[in-house]
Structure 1
Amino acid sequence: MRTKHYDVVIVGVGAAGAVFAKQLSQAGLKVLGIEFGKYFQNHRQDFVENEAGVLSLTWNNNQYRVEGDGFSGTPNLGAHVGGGTLAWTSMAFRYFERDFKLKTRYASPLGTAFEDWPITYQDLELYYQIAEQQMGVSGTSLPWYNPRTSPLPNPPHCYFESSKMLEAGMNKLSIRSAPGPVAVNSRMYKNREACINCGFCRSGCRTDAKYQADKVLLPSAFATRNFTLESECVVLKILTEANGTRAKGVIYFDKKTKQTYQANAKIVIVCNNPMETARLFLNSADAKYPNGLGNEYDQVGRYFYAHPSVFGIGFTESKTAIEAGYNMGNIISLDFTETKNPNEYIGGFSLLSLNGSGLGVTAVDPLQNLYGQELKSIQYDYTKFLAMIAFCEGLPKYDNRITVLPQIQDTFGSPVAKISYYFTNHDRIVASKAVAKMRDVMVAAGAVKTYIRENPFESHPMGGMRMGNNPATSVTNEFGQIHSIKNLFVAGASLFPTGSSVGPTLTIHALALRTADYIIKNFRKLS
């Protein structure tokens, strides 16, 4: 087996991994990025404007064994170089200051188990700003946050016709609204085109008006000649040395050549999605860590959760032009993201408009109980729809977790993952509040009939490798550094102790920038 040598190995070159590739290679480190999926070098040719195109860009969730009602396999995680940024809907929210200290403010409701983040909003504020600049976020100051210290790089988009109707409805109900912060160019930005509102964001943006990490970050990494990308490869195991106190590198299989390789490195960073990150650590068990790397306290894979999500449409008697426009957040309200009555629930939900392609999704979500001609008759009037989504704050609990099944192996010989995920009573309460408020807004906006999926589905899986200060209740420290293996890091949403009620991608990016700075400043000590 051939062995290669690098300063850093990155496992997964997506929303977080691409950040490390750029930052570390520009700092002079020799970096290898290993990605399971393909590298699409010509987006204009490789992507298609077809709603079903999202399925070829997202992770195959059908491979998992699932227990519980919380995981339905929603296709919202990436499967190729660029990760989820190829298929995302581009919402680039900062988390709120309160999100980082949720337990201190409210304690854990019965049936949940979560901790404060080991960092504060102020620790991330500079990195949020850098991430927004790198992404090219369009938007304005929002009334739900403290005043910005600097403007977003691009102005907000104009409201679509459907957004104007939703704005009028929210005004009637005294609900505040604003253009959402989206990583979609409202004007030409750094040689990336402005959005043409084709409506197919989730199938990959052919014009690169949408932020896609492979297009925006990796060219800078390649330009240093310090970065090597191995696509269509699967990492099978993380290796350790020095009696388990250091990561030595990884073993990976190249799906193109059918060869197995070993890549040694001074630092290893795992940037997979939460299911695959926990699975890799559990499948890397060795003599020192018989239950999985970094799992001395049975924390790897625990506290898995997501945003319970609600999707609804409202049928109006006028043309809404919903079929055009970037997919999400042309207008938003965050009025309900803050706890109203902590004796009832904590956290809350965000309300975001939906536009563009989505006729197929309406059939499987808000219209899931309709079939045949009844379904078709409603969908024929798609251009008269209003559409919204609500992301609810999901709370972790101890037994919602990722494990592996040694007796069932994938095509590469690795035990498959089992997802145990049940929505909590708290999750259901918040989702029911979101359903009611969404219906109120749509009716006020002119909907004569509403169809809202009342049983929530999961968006944005998080947790499983929780960060914290106590090794007995977390897997990593504030930098994603494994407590017992100082040159082994984790990045991505698997670190999140709690997940707010807005999308996690900007926070994933900002955390990766912060950890990259830490690695650069401490590289000699870590290596």
Structure 2
Amino acid sequence: MQNRKTSRVYDAIIVGSGAAGGIAAHVLVNKGLNVLLLEIGPKWDRNTIFHTEHSWPYEMHYHGLGRPGQYDGLWKVNAYTEHLYVHPRIDRYATAPGTDFHWTRIHAVGGRTNTWARVSLRMAEWDLKPKSMQDGAGEDWPISYSDLAPYYDKSEDMLGVFGTREGLAVLPDGNYHAPTPPARCGEVMLMKGGRKIGIPVIPVRKAILLKNRDNRSACHYCGNCDYGCATGSRFSSLDAIIPQLLGRKNFTLRTQAAVHRVLLDPKTGKARGVEFIDTRNKLTYEARARVVVLGAGAMESTRILLNSKSREWPTGLGNSSGVLGHYVMDNFKSGFVSGWLPSLKSTEIFNDDGAGGGHVYIPRHTNFKGGRKSTVLRGWQFQPGSGSGSFPGYSKRLEGFGSGFKKEVREMNPARISLAGFGECLPYFDNYCEIDPGGLKDRYGIPQLRFHAQWHDNEKKMADLMYDSAEEILRAAGAEVSPYARNTPPPPGDATHEVGTARMGDDPKTSVLNKFNQAHDVKNLYVVDGASFVSCPEKNCTLSIAAVSWRASDYLAEELRLGRL
């Protein structure tokens, strides 16, 4: 059946509206290009969609956790958020026997920027040159820190990142709109303890406004950013980018458009547009443009490329290298250790919810010049939690019942402290995704992914070291460490920092994209999201995705102006 065609040919089609696609839209529209932005989900009204932001657990089914096993282990999906995320049992993906992967998706304008953790960190030079500057493992990126630095500046300003300049080589300083809110009592003790053992504990860097800006209000310290933000205080492209573009003559937003594949001009071999399904009427359409930009998220953009196979591209569009879909990476989670600070037990309780979680951060402290040596490659970070939160979840680890139990919960509330670690995953060719050979399709009839992903020896060994490190840091702060089990890290994807699968590089034989995120094989096709990442440092990736997208979009606009595309 012939596709229905959109009425015009755009300068650029952008697929996806989150951190990558949203930034690309901002850059290209403001450079005067006629842009069509396609988003698989609807455009939410933040005043109504985030209605559980201030709900109490007792108001929710199963205290907000949802029915046990209902969400197949996706920790971000619960009774508070099930109306925001794709339900894993409604829109399934596949995993190969003996492997596992957690793919957490939001189909809406803004994507996962609607509910992310907001931690915004720059990569250092050796994060981009891990093979040559660290340990010989993996590959170097085809870009350096100096290439990204100006785009980090722009992205931090757009996102509204707060933080402080600490002068740490392992964590470059940034462009902050305000200093981090003051540390809580427990966090001050962590900072003092870190100094004793030579491990920096610094103010965290997050994309949360502490001052009003445009249509976004300053943070009101409710601490529930994981459930969305009705005031738009945390960055999302839904609040910070799209409202600035709507109404512009050169910008068109089409929601509920599920992109199936990139279409090629058979005469030139260049991309001519994309095919998408309107999720409301289930009809298929073709949108045409001079340039196609994929920014739908690492796995989704790669799914589109894999589904764009043809006689010329039997294993996926732009896959002459054979690496498309390979090198699936994600930070792995380990070292979750909690305890309590005796000096804070039974002290006065304050509202410690803060600006979306912890106000301090523990950067990587192993395997770099000036850091500690380790028996594994690369390193990890910790994100602490402490203080009198509204939801004392630690109470499930306390014994007793009745009035005595309630008294213990109150006394322990200001004294609680915890660390959660994120480690670097090395790139492995045998961690990959493919179109499911069993024929699994999503709810719109588009072939779905199957994942082959698992942790290797370096990650497993690092996970154990992270527990040791967490205990050392907590004890240095004067904490009593609570009993815990050293669990195997949850599967790849669980940290929701998934990257890789369409890596950039100088050599078309070993990479999908060049250093400007342009496909080696199709010069008017760009992939601007985390799929382009060559490595997966321990640092949260959203800020780097924004910077990479901004840089690629700048280059794309100039190439189009010069008539090279």
> Is 1:418 matched with 2:443?
no
Give the whole-Å Cα distance in 2 for the aligned partners of 1:67 and 1:38. 31
> Is 1:487 matched with 2:491?
no
> Is 1:94 matched with 2:122?
yes
1:337–1:358 distance in 2 versus 1, CA, 3 Å: farther
Which segment drifts farther, 296-305 or 441-450? 441-450
State the 1:278 CA deviation. 1.6
Partner of 1:103: 131
Q: 2:430 aligns with which of 399, 406, 428?
A: 399
State the 1:74 CA deviation. 6.5
Q: 1:56 aligns with which of 83, 86, 95?
A: 83
Aligned pairs for 1:143-292 (under 5 A) are 143-145=167-169, 151-190=175-214, 192-243=216-267, 245-292=269-316
Give the whole-Å Cα distance in 1 for the aligned partners of 2:394 and 2:15. 31
Once the two structures are superposed, residues 340-359 of structure 1 have per-residue CA deviations (whole angstroms, 9 ceiling, x without a partner) of 57783222011112365776
State the 1:59 CA deviation. 4.6
Which segment drifts farther, 276-285 or 46-55? 46-55
Code of the residue aligned with 1:22 in structure 2: it is H
Bigger radius of gyration, 1 or 2? 2
Give the whole-Å Cα distance in 2 for the aligned partners of 1:195 and 1:427. 36
Which segment drifts farther, 466-475 or 34-43? 34-43
SS in 2 for 1:386: strand
Partner of 1:6: 10
State the 1:194 CA deviation. 2.0
Partner of 2:488: 455
Q: 1:19 aligns with which of 18, 23, 31?
A: 23
Mark the runs of 5 or more structure 1 residues left unpaired by the alignment. none
Partner of 2:354: 325
Q: How many residues align?
A: 516
1:45–1:474 distance in 2 versus 1, CA, 3 Å: closer
Once the two structures are superposed, residues 220-250 of structure 1 have per-residue CA deviations (whole angstroms, 9 ceiling, x without a partner) of 2224221111222211111111356211111
Partner of 1:435: 467
Give the whole-Å Cα distance in 1 for the aligned partners of 2:457 and 2:106. 29
Code of the residue aligned with 2:363 in structure 1: it is L
More strand by share: 1
Q: 2:339 aligns with which of 309, 314, 318?
A: 314
TM-score by length of structure 2 reads 0.84
Once the two structures are superposed, residues 76-129 of structure 1 have per-residue CA deviations (whole angstroms, 9 ceiling, x without a partner) of x543211121111111100011111101123445xxxx2100000000111100
Give the whole-Å Cα distance in 1 for the aligned partners of 2:332 and 2:463. 7
Mark the runs of 5 or more structure 2 residues left unpaired by the alignment. 56-63, 65-77
Once the two structures are superposed, residues 466-498 of structure 1 have per-residue CA deviations (whole angstroms, 9 ceiling, x without a partner) of 000111111101111111100011011111101
Give the whole-Å Cα distance in 2 for the aligned partners of 1:467 and 1:174. 36
Give the whole-Å Cα distance in 2 for the aligned partners of 1:486 and 1:237. 17
Give the whole-Å Cα distance in 2 for the aligned partners of 1:221 and 1:245. 32
Whether the 8 Å contact between 1:402 and 1:418 is mirrored in structure 2 is: yes
1:79–1:342 distance in 2 versus 1, CA, 3 Å: farther
Whether the 8 Å contact between 1:58 and 1:87 is mirrored in structure 2 is: no
Identity percentage over the alignment? 29
Once the two structures are superposed, residues 240-277 of structure 1 have per-residue CA deviations (whole angstroms, 9 ceiling, x without a partner) of 11356211111111112332211011111111222222
1:388–1:461 distance in 2 versus 1, CA, 3 Å: same
1:358–1:262 distance in 2 versus 1, CA, 3 Å: farther
SS in 2 for 1:418: strand
Which segment drifts farther, 115-124 or 272-281? 272-281
SS in 2 for 1:461: coil
Partner of 1:300: 324
Which segment drifts farther, 7-16 or 307-316? 307-316
TM-score by length of structure 1 reads 0.89
> Is 1:137 matched with 2:161?
yes
Give the whole-Å Cα distance in 2 for the aligned partners of 1:68 and 1:392. 25
